[in-house]
């Protein structure tokens, strides 16, 4: 068994937005794009050392707790799988829209990548 395997794609605590002020900063100072099942708010990180961070929001308008939890899991997983494709350190806040309740992972992924492309956040591909 080889010691050098694929890079782990985790979402550790230091990559998450937690304080209300961090969410507010992305909403008030950053840019916003609505794309399909999500809204992407983003702002450049204050210091490069903080790196890329994520916050996820799902309101009670989406549905009961199990639907909101699924929406948050989908958004976190899409970010986790594509975090290495984002070209600069930013704070991202993903807001689930009502339509996410009936969508599959691939549909959420498509909307996430489309939003990142629209904002120019994806790394340039050779």
pLDDT of residue 14: 84
CA angle 75, 119, 117 (to 5 degrees): 70
Q: Can you name the residues that pair with 38 across neighbouring β-strands?
A: 35, 96
CA-based nearest residue to 119, from 25, 28, 41, 29? 41
CA-based nearest residue to 37, from 120, 117, 102? 102
Which structural domains are found in the chain, ordered by start? 14-119 (3.30.230.10)
CA-based nearest residue to 34, from 126, 106, 120, 96? 96
Question: Model pTM greater than 0.85?
Answer: yes
What confidence tens digit (pLDDT) does each residue in 70-112 have?
A: 999 999 999 999 999 998 999 999 999 999 999 999 999 999 9
pLDDT of residue 126: 57
Over 60: is that where the pLDDT of 9 sits?
yes
| pLDDT band (50, 70, 90) for residue 17 | very high
């Amino acid at each position: 068994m080889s010691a050098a395997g694929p890079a782990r794609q985790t979402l550790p605590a230091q990559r998450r937005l937690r304080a209300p002020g961090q969410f507010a900063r992305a909403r008030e100072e950053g840019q916003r794009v609505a794309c399909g099942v999500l809204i992407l708010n983003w702002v450049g990180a204050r210091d490069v050392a903080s790196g890329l961070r994520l916050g996820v929001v799902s309101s009670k308008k989406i549905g009961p707790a199990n639907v909101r939890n699924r929406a948050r899991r989908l958004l976190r997983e899409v970010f986790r799988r594509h975090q290495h494709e984002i070209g600069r350190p930013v704070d991202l806040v993903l807001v689930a829209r009502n339509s996410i309740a009936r969508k599959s992972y691939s549909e959420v992924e498509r909307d996430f990548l489309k939003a990142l492309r629209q904002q120019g956040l994806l790394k340039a591909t050779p």
